[in-house]
Amino acid sequence: MNTPVAQSTEIWPLAAYFLLVFALLAGILILSHVIGERHKAGAADEPFESGILAVGSARLRLSAKFYLIAMFFVIFDMEAVFLFAWAVALRELGWAGYIEAAIFIGALVAALVYLWRLGALDWGSSGRRFPGRHGRREDERCDGR
């Protein structure tokens, strides 16, 4: 069944599918250009425009704390994925699954308490609260001033 006729009969539905996709894509683009609304306002061509002219630069320097909080969110948000899967299979897992989930939640709570005690969740400008090499906060001076 490797004859050229047999191969072409196996490929033609795929070719018809791609032809249909490209025709639909071209039709949608042409239709949106023909019936689309034209704006002449200055702010209309800017991304996320609301009709108000932009002020300032979009190149803001954000504190590293924003990224740190974002990483904590992703890490601790993944617990919801695992706990959802656990909740779906709760009856099949029995007590062993319950104990495993309790250990998992306990580890997450311990990590959250550790980060809280470390000061990683503080937004204030008082410096980092965990001790440096000499047991002092990083914002304290060694000579006591």
- In angstroms, the CA 87 to CA 93 distance is 10
Q: Could you say which of 3.40.640.10, 1.20.58.1610, 3.30.43.10, 3.40.710.10 is the CATH number of the domain covering 62-145?
A: 1.20.58.1610
Helix, strand, coil percentages for the chain (3-state, nearest 5): 60, 0, 40
Mean pLDDT lowest among 39-43, 52-56, 87-91, 136-140: 136-140
Q: What is the pLDDT of residues 90-139, one digit of tens each?
A: 889 899 999 999 999 999 899 889 988 888 777 766 555 555 555 555 45
Q: CA of 68: how far to CAs of 2, 77, 115, 119, 124, in Å?
A: 58, 14, 11, 12, 14
From the CA atom positions of the chain, what is the Rg in Å?
Answer: 29
pLDDT computed for residue 102 by the predictor:
93
> pTM of the full predicted structure?
0.43
Closest by CA to 55, choosing from 43, 65, 64, 66, is 43
For residues 36 and 127, the model is more confident at 36
What type of residue sits at position 73?
F
List the domain boundaries for the chain.
Answer: 4-45, 62-145
pLDDT computed for residue 16 by the predictor:
93
